[in-house]
Amino acid sequence: MSIEYRPPTARAPLKPLDQALAELLAHALPLAGTQAVSTFDADGRVLAQDLVASLDVPAHDNSSMDGYALRCADWVDDTTVLQVNQRIPAGTVGYPLAPGSAARIFTGAPIPPGANAVVMQEFCTAVTAGEGTPATVRIQSAPHPGQWIRRRGEDIASGDVVLRQGTRLTPAALGLAASIGFGTLRVAPPVRVALFSTGDELVMPGEVLPDDMKPGAIYNSNRFFLRALLVRLGCTVTDLGIVPDRLDATMAALESASRQHDLILTSGGVSVGEEDHIKPAVQALGELNLWQIAIKPGKPFAYGKLGAAHFIGLPGNPVSSLVTFLVLVRPFILKLQGAAVLAPESIALSAHFDWARADKRREFLRARQNAAGGLDLFGNQSSGVLTSAVWGDGLIDNPAGKTIAHGDVVRFIPFSSLLS
C-alpha cells in the first residue's frame, strides 16, 4: 500500500502539556480482567481489590523489647528484687503473673495477664538462684504503665481496609498484605507493550564495534532505557528491534504489533521530515489524535489507535524520549492498570543557579540536589545529552516563559518518584 507524502499546509499550534495529558488519559480505559499472583511476585503491580484485615495486628499485647514483664505496683526503688517464675519467648503464651514476681520476656512475646510494663534487660540484674530456689531479678529502673508494650490492634484493627484497590504495590505494601494473611493478591493484568525504534542510522551496541560504525551511525540507546522503564511499570514487553526508515516496513511492524498488544510504543520518526514515516503509517492504518506538545525537550509526540491497540510515538532524541515517557506515557500506563495515583510527587526547592533563557514551551530541566539543600543545574540541557539524566536526580518543571534566578523556589520532581 502506498501513501503519497503531503507536506502540511499549516502547522497546528502546540498543545499545552496539561491539555495533552488530559486528552491522552481520556483514552486510557483500565484493562479488563484481573490476575491472582503470589504476594512474593506482586511488587510494582496494581491492586485490583481492597484488602480487608480479618485479624488485629498485633494479635495480642506484646513486648517490644527483651527484658522483664512486671506489675508497676511491685516496684519500690532501684533495689527492688522480684522472683522470676516464668520465661516467655516469642511464639509462646505465659500464665497470669503472680504479685511480687516478674516474667523473663522476649521481643514479640505476649504480655502475661497481670503485667502492665516491661523493663529492658539493660536496666535489670539477674540474681543467680540456688538449687531449688526460684531465680530473682533486681529492677534498677522505675517502670511506667504501658512501657515497652505494643498493644493489640495498634497497627491494624480487624475490619480495617488496609490497602485500597488501585494501590501500586511496594515492598512495604507486600509486607503489610502478608501481615494480614494474604499469600496471593488479585492485581490488574500487565500492559502488553510492543516496542520498536525507527531509523536507518541506528545500530545495536555489541553488534557493531565503535571503530566499525559507518558515518552517521549511532547506537540505539532509547531501546534500552524505554524497555527498562516499561519493565519497572510491570509491563510485558515485546521488543521488535529497529524498523527501517521505509513506509512499508513501518506499516508492517505497526499492523503486526496491533494484533496482540495493548500499546505500541515507538521512538523516532514522529517529526515532519520525508523520512519520518510513523505519522502517515498510523493515519493509514488507524487514527492519530495528538501530534505536538508544548514541552522542551520532547515536542514531537504522537498518540493514536490501531484497532484496539493504543499507539504512542516518542521523539528520537534520547532526553526527549525519556522526558515524554516520564510525563506522558508513565501516567497513561498506570491508568491502563487502574492505578489510583497517576501524578508523581514533587517538592519545592531553591534554585542555586540562574536560568535566563526563558522558552515559549514548558521546560523540564535536569538538575540534582546539593549538600546545601538546593538544586544545581546540569550545564548542557540539550535533548541529545543523556548524561544530564544520569548526573541529575530529577527534573525541574519550569513553566513556559519563566526565567529562574538564584534563590527562586522551583518545582522539582525527583527521579525516585518517576522511575519506581
What residue ranges do the domains of the chain occupy?
Answer: 17-32+190-336, 35-56+157-187, 62-150, 347-418
Ranges of beta strands (E only) in 10-79 are 35-38, 51-52, 62-63, 67-70
Three-state secondary-structure class, residue 10? coil
Bridge partners (DSSP) listed for residue 411: 348, 397
The CATH architecture of the domain made up of 35-56+157-187 is: Alpha-Beta Complex (3.90)
Beta strand 218-219 with 202-203 is parallel
Beta strand 309-314 with 263-267 is parallel
What is the value of pTM for the model shown? Answer: 0.85
Three-state secondary-structure class, residue 257? helix
Q: What is the pLDDT of residue 271?
A: 61
* C-alpha span between 50 and 33 (Å, rounded): 16
Same fold: 62-150 with 347-418: no
Beta strand 263-267 with 62-63 is unpaired
- Please give the chain's pLDDT, 420 residues, in tens: 454 555 555 667 889 999 999 999 999 999 999 999 999 999 999 999 999 999 999 999 999 999 999 999 999 999 999 999 999 999 999 999 999 999 999 999 999 999 999 999 999 998 876 665 569 999 999 999 999 999 999 999 999 999 999 999 999 999 999 999 999 999 999 999 999 887 767 777 777 778 777 887 777 788 889 999 999 999 999 998 888 888 888 899 999 999 999 999 998 766 655 456 788 889 999 998 877 899 999 988 999 999 999 999 998 889 999 999 999 999 999 999 999 999 999 999 999 999 998 999 999 999 999 999 999 999 999 998 999 999 999 999 999 999 999 999 999 999 999 987
* C-alpha span between 345 and 352 (Å, rounded): 21
Q: What is the pLDDT of residue 202?
A: 73
CATH class of 347-418: mainly beta
Number of DSSP helices (H) and strands (E) in the chain, helices first: 9, 26
**Using an 8 Å Cβ cutoff, are 248 and 198 in contact?**
no
What stretches of 113-221 show up as alpha helix (H) in DSSP?
Answer: 171-179
The number of beta carbons lying within 10 Å of the beta carbon of residue 56 is 18
Q: What is the CATH number of domain 17-32+190-336?
A: 3.40.980.10
Q: What is the pLDDT of residue 269?
A: 64
Q: What is the pLDDT of residue 274?
A: 47
φ, ψ for residue 367, nearest 5 deg:
-145, 170
Q: What is the pLDDT of residue 130?
A: 60
Q: What is the CATH number of domain 62-150?
A: 2.170.190.11
Amino acid at 298: G
* C-alpha span between 76 and 142 (Å, rounded): 8
* C-alpha span between 24 and 28 (Å, rounded): 7
